[in-house]
Amino acid sequence: MKHQIDLTTWNRREHFAFFSAFEEPFFGVVAEVDAARAYARAKALGVSFFQLYLHAVLRAVNVVEALRYRIEDGQVWCYDVVHASATLTRPDNTFGFSFVPYAPALADFGPGLQAEMAAVRQSSGLRLNDVTARPDVIHFSAIPWLSFTGLTHARSFSYPDSVPKISVGRTRAEGQQLLMPVAVNAHHGLADGYHVGLFFEQLQQALDSDESAPGRSA
């Protein structure tokens, strides 16, 4: 479900109009989170670390309302729940797009992710379709080969896009911490650095916490 934002009374109406006129309205931030407790919890639960941190990312995104805004036909809509369109790899090192539905509980989230991973492995090409290209998603990718400090995305400026793009990189140990870089790219007409800061705060909490899903915040 989604509801429309009233642009006439929205406190971001000028921000939205200003940045929407840009050829490149997206801004990006890279920061590190501590994944030590999350990695240990994944091992204890017998689930993949990828499943656990993707679930944590979606938990955090669904808390921050600004990351659930989407621009459709010039109007801003807020989705009640957003999911993941993740790039999943194959044994031949190509990737395919996917649609991974969000579920508040990690155990309920796993089957959908595993089904999409299997579907990608059994397919070829990009798998770009109406489902993987839904607007109520984040575009997610994992880059486990690099502990990056910056990240850009290939984008077609002629295509109207307002979906946040979140990527994670290779972890590195530092003392008792297991630091993982996370890149967030978001449409500046819909979100600011404040909202990205909220996301990182919620992501760290999700990585450190048990499976109970947090409430939402504006």
- pLDDT < 70 stretches in the chain: 211-218
3-class DSSP assignment, residue 57: helix
Catalytic residue positions, numbered: 188
Look at residue 18 and tell me if it is in a domain. no
Look at residue 16 and tell me if it is in a domain. no
Look at residue 213 and tell me if it is in a domain. no
Instruction: Quote helix, strand, coil % in the chain, to nearest 5.
Output: 30, 30, 40
The domain tally of the chain equals: 1
Look at residue 216 and tell me if it is in a domain. no
C-alpha span between 11 and 211 (Å, rounded): 34
Look at residue 37 and tell me if it is in a domain. yes
* Domain residue limits at 138: 2-9+25-208
Give residue 218's pLDDT: 42
- pTM of the predicted structure, to 2 decimals: 0.95
What's the CATH code of the domain at 70? 3.30.559.10
Write out pLDDT tens, residues 69-109: 999 999 999 999 999 999 999 999 999 999 999 999 999 99
Give residue 157's pLDDT: 84
Look at residue 17 and tell me if it is in a domain. no
